[in-house]
Amino acid sequence: MNNQLYSNLIFELSRPERIGSSLPKNEFPHHDIPSSVSRSHAAELPECDELTVVRHYTNHSGNNFGVDNGFYPLGSCTMKYNPKINDEMAAKPEFLNIHPLQPEETTQGSLTVTTMLRNILSNLTGMDDFTLKPCAGAHGELTGLMIIRSYHESRQDTKRTKVIVPDSAHGTNPASAAVCGLEVVEVKSMADGTVDLEDLATKLDDTVAAMMMTNPNTLGLFEHDIVKIVEMVHKCGGLMYYDGANLNPLLGVCRPGDMGFDVVHVNLHKTFSTPHGGGGPGSGPVGVRGNLAQYFPHVNPYHGNFLVELRALTYILTLGRENIKEVGPLATLNAAYIKEQLKDVYELPITGLSKHEFVFNGLADKSTGVTTMDVAKRLLDFGFHAPTIYFPLLFHEAMMIEPTENESVETIDKFIAVMRQIAQEAIEQPELVKSAPHNTPIKRVDDVLAARQPVLIHPENPAETV
Ligand SMILES: *Cc1c(COP(=O)(O)O)cnc(C)c1O
């Protein structure tokens, strides 16, 4: 479909009086709306016939890329397939058409769903109780840190204001700590990519509220000293927070609770297959050990994103207790296979055994001038979503690849072949890679300008004048 045929803005398709809807006759009594709250002139909405609207949005939706379109190896984000049975359950009117303020005797089925999910998450993570209210991983982090802060406050231990975060951590970890009013202290990684215990020891004292970690960490490495780390932090009176975004490779095999973590969040939209990207809807339930549940804050008056929770429960029950243990090994196998097949043409800075994801540091041949950004853009020409790039910040040309367990060997082989072809092109025709993408509706955008000077309203958008 030639995208040039279609306008970018529905407003550009608007023609006066071309109206595609008919409202029912107003049979309500007339009320005068006070002039203080009524419009001075009519809203300038686009006027389009139904077919124009359908084509406009259908063609735009075709420019979107999702897991249902193609391979999406976006490291750290676990872009796993959302089985359609999840959506079938979420579309059932019994679940779809309820209201959070409905009397509880009429919502027993839905409450059973939330209770089952809380119990299963507790079993999978080794926690004693869960709240389903947080609506994303970052929301869960904030919730968890509020729990930790309340715990210290309840003991009048108010000098604990620091949160220790490894230098490989996801950006939301320090951000959540800062939003919670806590001070972020960074701990270094060793050359093998895991937490430096000597550096950690120098940061531990009676001002530490918690340490936040994800395990396996952002480089896909299992923190082999985790039991020792937990012991050190507990000994100084701090609590351990588990960022569960990387729970996927451990599912049903080992549990953060058994490692000694006190508070965890899980990302239902990552590990438990519910759709994500584009800003939502997510779900980041928080689990706690012992009597920390008394500090669950009121971050959301209702039950969280219920239909996301229902999808996650459907995914878990579809797999069952035994099959769920296959998820981690398969995700790890897929990642290891890609790593081994590409490590001669892409630089592998950390060679240790990794789990469900790993990081390359750009092309092995540094003489071509082709960057990680160029490789990511060139991948789009072949219908692959790019990996996560320039994160973690430990390497200048980071490329973080997470294939998930869902992909067939054929898809992965195709990806490997394309990555090898791009590495070859970088040597033989570097300009071809540097000027990519060539086959997408939009070429390279100036992302620095877009970030520094965002233009959020189309200059010709009549709605702007409303
Ligand atoms: C995705 C992710 C988060 C944040 O989760 P959101 O649901 O995107 O807010 C936190 N930590 C890690 C390691 C992640 O990958």
Q: Is 213 in the pocket of ligand 1 (CB under 6 A)?
A: no
| Per-residue tens of pLDDT for the chain, all 466 residues | 444 455 678 888 999 999 888 889 989 898 888 999 999 988 888 999 999 999 999 988 888 889 999 999 999 999 999 999 999 999 999 999 999 899 999 999 999 999 999 999 999 999 999 999 999 999 999 999 999 999 999 999 999 999 999 999 999 999 999 999 999 999 999 999 999 999 999 999 999 999 999 999 999 999 999 999 999 999 999 999 999 999 999 998 999 999 999 999 999 999 999 988 765 689 999 999 999 999 999 888 889 999 999 999 999 999 999 999 999 999 999 999 999 999 999 999 999 899 999 999 999 999 999 999 999 999 999 999 999 999 998 899 999 999 999 999 999 999 999 999 999 999 999 999 999 999 988 889 888 998 999 888 776 655 544 3
Is the CB of 170 within 6 Å of ligand 1?
Answer: yes
Asked if residue 359 has its Cβ within 6 Å of ligand 1, the reply is: no
Mutate to test the pocket of ligand 1, among 142, 217, 243 (most ligand atoms within 8 A of CB): 243
CA of 145 to the centre of ligand 1 (A): 15
64, 375 in Cβ contact below 8 A? no
Question: Alpha-carbon distance 135 to 434, whole Å?
Answer: 39
Question: Is the beta carbon of 245 within 6 A of some atom in ligand 1?
Answer: yes
User: In whole angstroms, what separates CA 169 from the centre of its chain?
Assistant: 14
Using only the alpha carbons of the chain, give its radius of gyration: 25
Our answer on whether the CB atom of 356 is closer than 6 Å to any ligand 1 atom is: no
In this structure, are residues 230 and 213 in contact, taking their beta carbons and an 8 Å threshold? no
Question: Ligand 1: distance of its center to the CA of 138 in Å?
Answer: 6
Cβ of 144 closer than 6 Å to ligand 1, yes or no, is: no
Q: Which of 266, 267, 299 to mutate to test the pocket of ligand 1 (most atoms within 8 A of CB)?
A: 267
Q: Alpha helix locations (H) across 389-442? A: 409-428, 430-434
Ligand 1 closest atom vs CA 76: 15
The alpha carbon of 135 and the centre of ligand 1 are apart by a number of angstroms equal to 12
Residue 416 confidence (pLDDT): 98
Provide the token pair at 338.
């890609």
Residue of the CA atom closest to atom 8 of ligand 1: 137
Query: Considering the entire predicted model, what is its pTM?
Result: 0.90
* CA nearest neighbour of 214 among 253, 167, 252: 167
135-161 burial, b if ≥16 CB within 10 A, otherwise e?
A: bbbbbbbbbbbbbbbebbeeeeeeebe
Counting from 1 in the atom list of ligand 1, the atom nearest the Cα of 269 is 7
- Give the nearest ligand 1 atom to 214 CA: 13
Q: Which of 139, 173, 270, 273 to probe ligand 1 with, by most ligand atoms within 8 A of CB?
A: 270
Tell me the CA–centroid distance for residue 229 and ligand 1, in Å: 22
Cis peptide before 392 (omega within 30 of 0): yes
Q: Is the CB of 274 under 6 A from ligand 1?
A: no
Probe residue for ligand 1, chosen from 72, 167, 170, 356 as the CB with the greatest number of ligand atoms within 8 Å: 170
Across 215-238, b (16+ Cβ under 10 Å) vs e yields bbbbbbbbbeebeebbebbeeebb
The residue whose CA is least distant from atom 15 of ligand 1 is 76
Residue 137, ligand 1, Cβ within 6 A: yes
169 CA closest ligand 1 atom index: 13
Q: How far apart are CA 196 and CA 166, in angstroms?
A: 9
Q: Is the CB of 107 under 6 A from ligand 1?
A: no
Tokens of 100: 């959070």
Q: How far is the CA of 332 from the centre of ligand 1 (A)?
A: 19
243 pocket-lining for ligand 1 (C-beta < 6 Å): yes
pLDDT of residue 177: 97
